[in-house]
Amino acid sequence: MDSINPWLLFFFNVMDSSSRFVKLFEMSDFHNRSQVSARRSDYVWQYEYYEDEEPVSFEGLKAHRYSIVIGFWVGLAVFVIFMFFVLTLLTKTGAPHQENPDSGEKRHRPEGCLVDINGHQDDNDKAFSRPLLEGSRSYFNFYISEEDQAHGKQKPEDKRRSAKDKAGRLQRSAEIDEMDEDVEESGGQHQPLSGLTEKSKSDRDRECAFLSHFSIPNFVNLDHGSTLGEDDLLYEPSVILERQSQARNGHCDTH
Amino acid sequence: MNQTGCPEVKVPFPVFFTVGIVSLAENLLVVVAVMRSRNLHSPMYCFMCSLAAFNTIASVTKTWENLMIVLADAGHLERRGPPETDLDDVMDSLLCMSFVGSISSFLAIAVDRYITIFHALRYHNIMTMQRTAAILGLIWTSCAVLAVLMVKFFNFKFIMICFIVFFVVSLAAICFLYVYMFMMARIHAKNIAARWGSNMRGALTLTILFGAFVVCWAPFFVHLVIITVCPMNPYCECYRSLFELHVVLMMSHALIDPAIYAFRMAELRHTFRKMLFCSDWKFCL
């Protein structure tokens, strides 16, 4: 028997298999051919089916023959289901706190919503490892300090320049974050904002929470150092929401 | 061959043809819609168009290959003639190219979405149309080169290991990007009084997106791994006997891709409706 490089044959099976044209040919010709004279030619030899070497013995199998197949599919199914449950768990962690009485603290501080937090000063970069609510509250603290410091900068220009960007960003975020058809159908342009504007007074703190929370993606950037101190980004949410809430009162003004 | 062995599972030709032609039609529709409609000339849609183009190539190639097999079975084609084997090499290259290209396009779409969310205000500066064109050019040329190399030098184990490593790394990157975006979206959404239903739907969407990718691509890649690692093992042999099913799975991913990516975009659906049902094309587009 020719000393055929086994790896070559095995590898060939990959590409061979990817081309059923040749593989089927081999399967049908294998039994017909008793001569292997064609092997001498490199060109034809390449197309030798690997089974020509040695048929795989199926004697004495301890487990079921298809155990790898079954194991693979079970593992894949478990992985997908696990991923789904992880995602819904992330969702659930958020849901009970949607009705969280942010509104409970609405009257307590003169600065309004921005200081409504339990005074957690947690590590911001550990936000993902803790329940979402705590992590988001720590973001509040971070933003309060940042916005207080940078409060005096040019807001009017930001207002004009960024309002459009913000609306566009909301649209994109709405489209992509939710990936929901209803959000996309509605165009999403003003949907998140209009959803806020129709709130009652009791929801204003939630709106303010949104204001701070909305900066979170930028916060994440700052934390990971991926963007250079873009202070103007911190004003974006406040700018648009200010215009919205100024109609009622300046409750959520960033003081 | 042993009778107790695992017989190879054959998938009938009509299944291959149906899957191939339907996926070809869908993806071609996406490509044409994105190219013709001016308001779909944004980076996100360009990446989806690229994905659809790769899927189109894969569908065409697979269908053509099936046609040739049918003809060869019927005796109309010489199986070993040089034209057929060269054609076979060309088809293998195209298939490799489209597989690697699809994965690269998924990665590009995930990165684009990531930039949209986390660098939203600088998105239009980061992801200009010139950069998009450059990225797409890079993806297409590297896939073409890679495909030619892989088919020419399939002897080398290194090539296949590269292929598998590329798949695993892309999978991990895509998984990470989407889960990260999802987590951020939940933090964000829960304070706009997001409905419980929409949160569930987001989780479901992400699971479908990623789950479909993994379910359709993993079996073939595990096949590659098994070929390398345990070619003579009977258990592995039984896995390999299901090869045609795994190829059908891969082709069906080209079929469901438009449903997962393209058809979920309202803008694209709107363009389809205009294209398909509008009588006066010049006016409609």
What is the arithmetic mean of pLDDT over A68-95? 81
What is the arithmetic mean of pLDDT over B240-266? 87
Q: Express each pLDDT in A192-237 by its tens digit.
A: 333 334 444 445 544 444 444 443 344 333 333 333 333 333 333 3
pLDDT, residue A130, reads 44
Chain B contact for A198 (CB, 8 A cutoff): no
Q: Provide the shortest C-alpha distance from residue A8 to chain B (in Å).
A: 6
Does ipTM exceed 0.95? no
Out of B191, B222, B237, closest to residue A209 by CB: B191
Q: Provide the shortest C-alpha distance from residue B243 to chain A (in Å).
A: 8
Rounded percentage of chain B residues whose pLDDT exceeds 70: 91
- Chain A residue numbers with beta carbons less than 8 Å from the beta carbon of B153 are none
Q: With DSSP H G I counted as helix, E B as strand and the rest as coil, what are the percentages for chain B, rounded to 5?
A: 85, 0, 15
Structure tokens at A3: 């000393």
Chain A contact for B140 (CB, 8 A cutoff): no
Superfamily of domain covering B13-277: Rhodopsin 7-helix transmembrane proteins (1.20.1070.10)
Pick the residue with more confidence: A164 or B221?
Answer: B221
Confidence of residue B22 (pLDDT cuts 50, 70, 90): very high
Q: Provide the shortest C-alpha distance from residue A37 to chain B (in Å).
A: 15
- Chain A residue numbers with beta carbons less than 8 Å from the beta carbon of B210 are 80, 83
Quick check: B176 pLDDT over 60?
A: yes
C-alpha–C-alpha distance, residues B178 and A191, integer Å: 23
Least confident among A39-43, B127-131, B170-174, B235-239? A39-43
C-alpha–C-alpha distance, residues B114 and B178, integer Å: 8
Quick count: other Cβ atoms within 10 Å of Cβ A2? 10
- Chain A residue numbers with beta carbons less than 8 Å from the beta carbon of B231 are 6, 10, 13, 50
Rg of chain A taking only CA atoms, in angstroms: 31
Structure tokens at B37: 């409609």
Claim: this prediction has a pTM higher than 0.80: no
Quick check: B135 pLDDT over 90?
A: yes
Confidence of residue B24 (pLDDT cuts 50, 70, 90): very high
Q: Express each pLDDT in A172-181 by its tens digit.
A: 444 444 444 4
Residues 6+ apart with CB under 8 A from A106: A112, A113, A116, A202, A204, A205
Chain A contact for B120 (CB, 8 A cutoff): yes
Most confident of A110-114, B71-75, B126-130, B200-204: B126-130
pLDDT, residue A104, reads 45
Chain B contact for A87 (CB, 8 A cutoff): yes
Closest residue in chain A to residue B16, using alpha carbons only: A20
Chain B contact for A217 (CB, 8 A cutoff): yes
Closest residue in chain A to residue B6, using alpha carbons only: A65
Closest residue in chain B to residue A194, using alpha carbons only: B192
Out of A25, A90, A176, closest to residue B116 by CB: A176
Quick check: B113 pLDDT over 70?
A: yes
At B99, which helix (H) or strand (E)? Answer: helix B82-118
Pick the residue with more confidence: B268 or A31?
Answer: B268
Closest residue in chain A to residue B215, using alpha carbons only: A76
